[in-house]
Amino acid sequence: MTTVTYPFFSDWNRTCTLPDFKAIKADMFMPAFEQAMKEHRAEVDAILNNPAPATFDNTLVPLELAGENLERVNAIFAILSSTRSTKKLQKIEEKLSPLLSRHYTEISLLPKLFERIDAVYAQREALAPEARRLVEEKHRGLVLGGAKLPPADKQKLIEVTAQATELQTRFANNLMNEVDEQPFVIASADELVGLSADTLARLKEDANKKKLAGYAIKLQRDAVESALERCSNRTTRQRLHTAFINRCNNGGKTDNKALIPQILQLRAQEASILGFESFAHAATVSNMARTPDAALSLMRDLWAPAKSKMAMEQRELEEAAKADGLNEPLQAWDWVYYAEKVRQQKYALDEAELKPYFSMNAVRKAAFSTAEKLFGIKFKPRKLKGWHPDVKAFDVLDKASGAPVALFLTDYYARDGKLSGAWMSEFAGRHKLNGGRLPIVYNVGNFPKPAKGQPALLTMDAANTLFHELGHGLHGMLSQATYPSLAGTNVYADFVELPSQLFEHWLTEPKVMKRYLKHVETGAPIPDALIEKIVKAQQFGEGFQTVRALSSAMLDLELHSQPVSADFDIMKVEADFRARYAMPEIGEFMHRPTHFGHLFNSSYYAAGYYVYTWASVLDHDVFAAFEEKKNPFHKKTAEKLLTHIYSAGNTQHPADLFKAFRGRDPKRDALLRNKGLNGDKAA
């Protein structure tokens, strides 16, 4: 095989650094991927053709280490195609995604692969616990993935998953392109009364960059909801809200309506080939929930309490609107605006008053310091050139010994060519094989970038997002698993959100706020009175937020549980759902289908958006352990948290890990209490 040395293929992932991004050209990717896939397949074939009887050491261990060059180029392509995408990269991605899908699926369905792993599985009782766990998980995954299918069905499965992957890539690119190319444009500042001068300056600057007249709001949640919260012009709010919820639902080349039934049909075919009743059954069988009915049961149990609380919130908002002179029925585009007014009136808490204390630097310092105190680590800035000038790098060190733990990178600001939302991923995962490897972990956000010379100020929601994604990052960085497949965030999908959602709890801990949230201009700590208001207002809006999350989760499960009819119309399906569940007229989905990236950008969260609510039960129960000690940094509880949640990966079943930490199975009490869904009157 003729090999070429590309910038991707250096030892950067073993040395906790990054490749030279300036040396990377788009034209390199396809030949590099083709070479790396051939290398990976040759490595796998060599393992499977070993004439010696299959053992853990000659089969599972080398399989865990195979394909390093493919891992490297894939990691670099993923970050560039998701944060610095171009039309050229999108074309490469649309060609590449089915090839990668076919490559990995073909390997997973090789008869010799299952034969050797099955042979080791038969001897698993003689293995050490973590090695046995790896064999059991690999064997289970192969069986559920079709390893026992006849050859014709295997080939059909390969084709179906490749087709679905191609369509998912198109869905993601359509969403990115529409958000980048079609901002919401307002001609005059008179239509944006209520927005601060700094915000107007940034929106003007964003419009100028696109050579547009007026003010441009990128149709991403943080930017849109920030504007809806402050803008007193109801017509502008209506237009902005309508544009936001109708992304990729406006006809033209970026409309995603036609892609949705095609993706759902292919997923249903995949599930049928594998012998499952539906894709939802296939997606949940490997999770804690095990069945879509179990997941739906939790959602439905919370639905009535959430609607009840939202109705109470709505009455408060309607009173505020009436006092403001609004004599028409409250609409969805009014919710965020009047919610902010009620919050100011009821709790004397104004987002504009909060923001100076929630600068990007202050929130990041609070998040880092919380992690340091809980887990005995230290973040040290490092000068390192990333994939964009906004990228910041940090060495993560053991506080006691100074030994390296990980390399952590952040890319927080929104820009064109970047997927919506926020996420964590890895350039390299931690493991202990072949000399071991330290993790290289990154967080990506889409926080509005301030006008030149101004500090970045975050909303409470954005600050929560920063803490959330660092929680995922810590899950990857603190891993102590021996084997890559069991390390870090490679856990069951409805357990993966526990470390991230749990970490959010520390943002609003009074001790954390008092110490780290300083006024961006004066440097004064956030006042005790303001902290008290934040704490008292924590249940505010939880009915609305829970209805949004539950409706999206339940719609997701239903979409993936039912056959796709010949006359399938996603807008009608959505309307029928609203009617059957008596969804509040003013209620909203967290994501509407045509821009529901969690569901249709990939299959990871398909029939799995429920995991956020499932994990909410876990994270509130886990944090309650600290509350019971009356100390958010209780040392022994933090040590148990590190051992059983953040560092364990998938070395044990998540139910066993939770029980090892809590001493019992999860309870919903803390979730219901903290969200005000237990029938008590809201604070």
* Burial of 362 from C-beta contacts in 10 A (0-12 / 13-18 / 19+): buried
Residues 6+ apart with CB under 8 A from 216: 183, 184, 185, 186, 203, 206, 207, 210
Is residue 588 flagged as an active site residue? no
Q: Kindly give the interhelix angle for 292-323 and 332-347, rounded to the nearest 10 degrees.
A: 70
| Dihedral angle of Cα 654, 656, 662, 664, to the nearest 10 degrees | 120
Q: How far apart are CA 492 and CA 475, in angstroms?
A: 13
Q: How far apart are CA 41 and CA 37, in angstroms?
A: 6
* String of DSSP letters for 257-302: TTHHHHHHHHHHHHHHHTT-SSHHHHHHTTSSS-SHHHHHHHHHHH
Q: Is the dihedral of CA 190, 195, 197, 199 positive or negative?
A: negative
Q: How far apart are CA 221 and CA 179, in angstroms?
A: 11
Q: Output the six-digit token pair for 588.
A: 């909203």
137, 469, 504, 509: the active-site residue: 469
The letter for the amino acid at 508 is T
Q: How far apart are CA 193 and CA 366, in angstroms?
A: 33
* String of DSSP letters for 472-505: HHHHHHT---SSGGGSTT-S-TTTTTHHHHHHHG
Q: Output the six-digit token pair for 256.
A: 């995603």
**CB 543, CB 313: distance < 8 Å:** yes
- If one counts every other C-beta atom within 10 angstroms of the C-beta of residue 121, the result is 21
Q: Is the dihedral of CA 238, 242, 244, 250 positive or negative?
A: negative
Secondary structure (3-state) at 631: coil
- If one counts every other C-beta atom within 10 angstroms of the C-beta of residue 416, the result is 17
Q: Kindly give the interhelix angle for 111-121 and 129-144, rounded to the nearest 10 degrees.
A: 140
Secondary structure (3-state) at 186: strand
Q: How far apart are CA 443 and CA 628, in angstroms?
A: 31
Q: Which residues of 326-356 are buried (b: 16+ CB within 10 A; e: fewer)?
A: beeebebbbbbbbbbbbbbebbebebeebbb
Q: Is the dihedral of CA 166, 171, 172, 176 positive or negative?
A: positive
Secondary structure (3-state) at 612: helix
- Residues identified as active-site: 469
